[in-house]
Every structure is written in C-alpha cells, then in structure tokens.
Structure 1
Amino acid sequence: MTRIPYKTALIIGAGVGISASLTRMLSGAGLKVALAARDTAKLEALTAQTGARAFAADAADPASMASLFPQVDEAIGEPEIVIYNASARAHGPIADVDPEAFRKSLSITAFGGFLAAQQAARRMIPKGSGAIFFTGASASVKGFALSSAFATGKFGLRGLAQSVARELGPKGVHVAHFVIDGAVESERRATPADSPDSFLSPDAIAQTYIDVLSQARSAWSLEVELRPWVEKF
C-alpha cells in the first residue's frame, strides 16, 4: 500500500459512498479516522467495521464546526488530513427555486468548506504540514440547467480551494480539489449492465485521494479531474 505521511484524518459530510471508501482505506493504512455527519446513525456499520469515530455536526453552522474540531482533537488527536465531502442541492427552474433552499445549498456546499478549512488551517499552519481536500463535482466547472444552486456552491468551493492552496501551500499544507465528473456507483445506483465502467467506483476515487496524499511536495496536485472512460467532457 502507498505510504501516507499522516496519522489522523477527519472526513466531513461522511456517508456510504466516497467517504466510506476513504474511511476503509485510511483506517486500513493505520490512520485514526473521525467522521462528521448530521446523522451519525447511518455510519454505525462503517464505524464498527473500521474503528472510526463518528461525530454529529452541521457543516454549515459555525458553532457546530467550532465544537467539532476540539472533540476530534481529544478523541484521535488534531486531524492532519481534513476532507470536505458535504454538499446539498436545490434542484429546479431559476424562476421557481425557493430562496431558502438555495441559501441552504450554498451554505452546506461552499460556506461549510470555508469553516472546515479555517479550523484545519489553525491546526496545520503551526505544524507546517497537513492536507485539506475538497470534493467537487461536474458542477464545479460547468453549470447545468435546473442546477443553479449546486453549481453556485461547487464553483464557490473550487474558488475557495484555489485560494487556500495558494495561501497555505507555501506554509507546508497540501490543498487539493477533486472534480468528480460523472455518476458515482452506490448501493442505490448500480452501474448499468449494458454500460460497464460508466459509473465511477467510490473505491477508485478514494484510491486517487490516497495517491495525492502521498505526493512529494515538489510535485503537489491542486486539482484532479476524475471521470469514467465513457464520460463526455
């Protein structure tokens, strides 16, 4: 297995997809892992399997995020890896989208990323090391019809990642943004039998995160795009 130069990790917006694959890989590599989600009940099987610790948190609430990090610090040590995987949608025509639903989507998808990065930076800067990763989507680089809220949030998260990378990279903190450009396979959404490999495997995505974590600082990636071989650009 590729060597990961860190000992602790926090995944925010944890669930049963990409973050579950990451949890298994990071735990399997010997790291202590903390998972944050609004509903921790859905993480019970994963924590039992991996030994990861679960914490209830609202990614878009400054008080909740300010409380989460000290809890993680005490439970597993200050997280040397922070992965922001939370997002929300408000699908519909621009003339009809509920403003509060749009606000909520933007708050979770982008503002929460800022809150996570801020807490992570306060811990990583003094040490001169660490990694902050953001999970993006197709909507990070191309806005689709009926998806204005999600595109706004993901565009914002990408801009945040670029800005934070340029600020913290010279201080020893690796910041990267991952464009997940395509549908991700899950228990509820299997790859179509007549189109093999047309969905991204969450394990394959997680392996790419692991590979980027292992990069030498003389050749750090800022952005990685991942898509199935049949996906149109």
Structure 2
Amino acid sequence: MATPTAVVVGVGAERGLGAALCRHFAREGYHVLVAGRTAEKIEAVARGLKDLGLSAKAVLTDATVEADVVRLFDEAMSPGFGRDPSDLVVFNAGNNRQLDFRELSAEQFEDFWRVGCFAGFLVGREAARRLVPLGRGTLIFTGASASLRGKPGYAQFAAAKAGLRMISQSMAREYGPLGLHVAHVVVDGGIDGERLLKNRPEAKAARGEDGLLGIEAIAESYWHLHKQRRSAWTQELDLRPFKESF
C-alpha cells in the first residue's frame, strides 16, 4: 500500500504548532513535507521525525513567493515510488506582533498581509488546482482570535487573519461540493510553544495548568477535521483553553 502525503506550510521551531502537526500526521502513517522559510528549523523537525522512524522531508519554502509554492505542490503531487499524491494540506504561516498603529509603516503592514493572507491565497489556490480534479482532500487554514476581531495594536495582524478567513469561506463554498474539505481553525489563546514561552516566559505559570493551548492537542483537532465524514464536515472550529475568556 502506498504512503499518503501531507504538506504543512509554516513550520518553525520543534516546539511549535507546525512541528506538532508534522509529528501527528507522520505518526498516522503519512509522509510529511515540512515546509518553511528557515532551513535550520525545518531540517531539525524533519530529522527529528526520521529519528523516530517516521517519513518526512524538509522543503525550503517562502509561502509568499509564488514559484516556491508551485514547486512545493509539484513535489507533493508527484512524490515518487511508494507514495500517493497529497490529500492533506495545512497552511500555518503567520506573524504576530503588537505595534502602535500610528507608528506602523506601509512596509510592515504589507509584510503582515503577505505572510498571513497572500501566502494563504497562494497555498489555497495550488491546493485547489491539484486536489479538486481528484475530488478529494483536506485543506486547513490556521486562524486566530484576530480572524474575528481586531484588538488595539494588532490592526496589521487582524487585517491579514480576517482576509485569510474569507479565503477559507469562499473556497469552502466553491470547492466543498466538489470534494475538497476546506476548514478554518480559530486558535484563541496563548499556545504552549517556543515562541510564546521565549517572549513571555511568565505566561505558563500565570495561566496555570492547561491554561495555554497544547500543541499536541491542537494537532489532534486538525487530524479529526481531516478524518471527518463528508456528510458532516466542519468549516470553522474554535479552539481555546477551558479557562480562556471569549
């Protein structure tokens, strides 16, 4: 039996959501393309999976560059002997930083949009081009609370995430009836990963037990979306710690 292929775009640190998704999919029997724009990080994630006897390949990809995304999907859809074309794609790229709106430069705003929204368009378009003709597959976009509302200092992030959410909804309505399951996951709360713990080391103790979103727990939800029967597909899923207010 051939090994199925999964693509995870936006992989960073080994203790991050992208890496957790790669691990979960690999443990479920997938060959995983570990895609990100920092070679050392994606190679470390892929190497860690191989050390566990799992199948993975690091693919250096800047998701804001059309040629990089096309090349990634060329590999995903023709993975070689013993592997099936991809039927699972996750767009997990994003950047988040609080900035005074009055000091926000045009270049900064555009960069947030390119990483958080434009890159999602490129990945979504290529996924649709390759998977819709096959009549199957799952495409999941990682969102945030900013997908639904803008907070002070986060206009640039909210604009990008809200745009990504609209891409997800439009694609779901257009391609769901053709067999492509498109889902958007609102990750509402701090993630118990390297980025938050490096920038806000006090956060874990302040939130208490299970007060941050566990990366492995989030990955389980993504896998559940992929395995859903088409008679009851989820288009949008909200995930937050039990004590997170909303």
Structure 2 match to 1:62: 66
State the one-letter code of the partner of 1:49. Answer: G
Q: What are the within-5 Å matches in structure 2 for residues 129-148 of structure 1?
A: 129-148=136-155
Instruction: Tell me which residue corresponds to 2:10.
Output: 13
CA deviation vs aligned residue, 1:169-209 (integer Å, no higher than 9, x gap): 00000000000000000245162166111100000000011
Alignment of 1:40-55 (within 5 A): 40-50=39-49, 51-55=55-59
Give the TM-score normalised by structure 1. Answer: 0.93
Structure 1 residue aligned with 2:242, among 223, 226, 229?
229
Alignment correspondent of 1:3: none
Tell me how far 1:92 sits from its aligned partner: 1.3
Residues 7, 86 of structure 2: 8 Å contact kept: yes
Indicate if the aligned counterparts of 1:184 and 1:201 stay in contact, CA closer than 8 A. Answer: yes
Moved over 4 A (4+): none
| 1:210–1:36 distance in 2 versus 1, CA, 3 Å | same
Aligned twin of 1:218: 231
How far the C-alpha of 1:90 sits from its partner, in A, is 5.3
The yes-or-no answer on 1:123 pairing with 2:130 is: yes
SS of residue in 2 equivalent to 1:221: coil
Pairwise CA distance, 1:83: 0.3
Q: Deviation of residue 68 (structure 1)? A: 2.1
The separation in 1 between residues aligned to 2:97 and 2:214, in whole angstroms, is: 25
Alignment-derived partner of residue 31 in structure 2: 32
Give me the whole-angstrom Cα distance separating, in 1, the residues matched to 2:219 and 2:68: 27
Q: Write the letter of the residue equivalent to 1:67.
A: R
Judge conservation of contact 2:77–2:130 (CA < 8 Å) in 1: no
| In structure 1, distance between residues paired with 2:207 and 2:37 | 36
In structure 2, the CA distance between the partners of 1:97 and 1:161, relative to structure 1 (3 Å rule), is: same
Unaligned 5+ residue runs, structure 1? Answer: 1-5
SS in 1 for 2:151: coil
Q: What's the RMSD between the two structures over aligned residues?
A: 1.6
Match of 1:168 among 175, 178, 181: 175
Matching residue within 105, 128, 138 for 1:98: 105
Q: Give the TM-score, by structure 2 length.
A: 0.88
**Count of residue correspondences:** 228
**Residue by residue, what CA displacement relative to the aligned partner does 1:73-111 show, whole Å, maximum 9, x if unpaired?**
344553211100001235312111011011011011001
Does the 8 Å CA contact 1:179/1:224 hold for their aligned counterparts?
A: yes
Between stretches 6-15 and 174-183, larger displacement belongs to: 6-15
Q: Distance in 2 between matches of 1:168 and 1:74?
A: 22
Q: 1:215 to 1:39 in 2, by over 3 A?
A: same
Q: CA offsets per residue over residues 123-156 of structure 1, 9 Å max, x none? A: 1111100011000011111111011110000000
Structure-1 separation of matches of 2:39 and 2:137:
26
Q: Which residue, out of 215, 229, 236, partners 1:202? A: 215
